[in-house]
Chains A and B, each alone.
Chain A
Amino acid sequence: MTHSLHRRGTIEDLREDYVLMIKYSRDVKIEGAEDKMRQAWEIISHYEQDLENFGNHEPNWDGNELYNMEELKKVNSRIIHAVFKDREKLKACLEEIKNKDLGLSVLISGLYDEVRKVCLEIGLEPHTVNQSLGTHGKTELLPEGETLEIHTMCGHAMISPNLIGHMVKEIDEGNVSSKDAAKKLRRMCDCAIFNPYRAEKLLTKMSVKD
């Protein structure tokens, strides 16, 4: 699954978009893996105010927020997702995870040059990468511009281009703010890798353009 890899945007936009992922292998057993995942959530909770999104792919659909940090610290998680806009906060979090030496696999989706620098600054070296070579074939079928940028923030395509268009209309008509529209879009992404901070900026740009 490569749901976070093909995010679109300019280099400047992507400087505010990092997805931290933590998981453990199904094939190589690690002692106390589930407890270690809970410890990882404990570390991430130190940065809760700096996160744009977070979750473990098992959302709560009862109408409130999809995820609750206190709950996540108690339940079993197969995967951890946390979205940062600030590379310094990401670096601080990653350094804490490194120092705890949990033995879990840790990944960051984002600009490779920045991610590598973050790693080097805290004594890590990138091990393996999955690099996007872009989208090919009948690309004329794709939505354009900012719509595609918002759409690709959920690689499972749960943020429909039509819903994005509807939100822009709602903003234009004064029914909702860009911030609240971005929050509504965030709810569609179960994995919690959508970045509402970037989405808010893009929605504002789209509504002004109209």
Chain B
Amino acid sequence: MKTNDVTGRYPRGIAGVGIEMGRPGISTSFKDLQTVVMALAKWGVEFEPNNPLAALIVDKKTGKINQEVLNERVLSAIIEFKIEINRLKEVLETIKEVSKRIDTVFSLDLISRVDADGSIPTAAIAIEAGFTPRPNTKTNVGLGRPLFEEA
């Protein structure tokens, strides 16, 4: 999202979700990571292919992680994917549910374009799914050029 003003990677109607496993500062096992990835795979989400984790997800349909690393730990690993906004609520509810089945923490990120009136269209959906959006964001102010034009 840092350069979304020029790449258009997150167009209107699409949300980006980042699950920062192990953060802040606790670390995560790949076993816990697999638990979350498998829960999300059921929704057919498209995991970010350029994320280092992508190479370790050996079965994209089930979310199974390479068994060789399952007992390893890392300080953090970010599960990233995009989802249509009209499917976001169910996916966030799944994330809420799976958070009760892991032995670590994760910090949760929700990316979207800002509406013309300055509102964040995904915030209300997050609330419906049982989350409390924090008042702080990372905001791209749209100065990148050439500005990506949506069709």
Contacts and interface: CB of A to CB of B under 8 A. Distances in A.
A208 interface: no
A109 B139 CA distance: 6
A104 B144 contact: yes
B105 interface: yes
Contacts of B90: none
A133 B137 contact: no
A139 B16 CA distance: 23
A160 B75 CA distance: 12
A28 B146 contact: yes
Interface stretch (B3-11, B37-45, B63-71): B3-11
B59 interface: no
A137 B106 contact: yes
Interface in B71-111: 75-76, 78, 95-96, 99-100, 102-111
Interface string A97-116: 11001111111111111011
A104 B137 contact: no
Interface of B: 1-7, 10, 16, 18, 20, 23-26, 75-76, 78, 95-96, 99-100, 102-114, 116, 118, 120, 122-123, 126, 131-146
Contacts, number: 222
A69 interface: no
Contacts of B102: 137-138
Contacts of B3: 23-25, 27-28, 105
Contacts of B136: 5, 7, 14, 109-112, 132
B96 to A, nearest CB: 7
A28 B133 CA distance: 31
Given A7-B136, A108-B139, A126 B118 contact: yes
A120 B117 CA distance: 11
A115 B136 CA distance: 9
Nearest to B132: A134
Contacts of B114: 125-129
Contacts of A7: 136
Contacts of B7: 25, 27-28
Nearest 5 CB-CB pairings of A with B: A127-B142, A103-B145, A105-B144, A25-B3, A157-B25
25 contacts: A2-B20, A24-B3, A24-B144, A28-B6, A104-B143, A109-B138, A110-B137, A119-B139, A125-B142, A127-B114, A128-B1, A129-B112, A129-B138, A131-B110, A131-B122, A132-B134, A133-B109, A133-B132, A134-B108, A134-B132, A136-B95, A136-B108, A137-B99, A141-B26, A142-B26
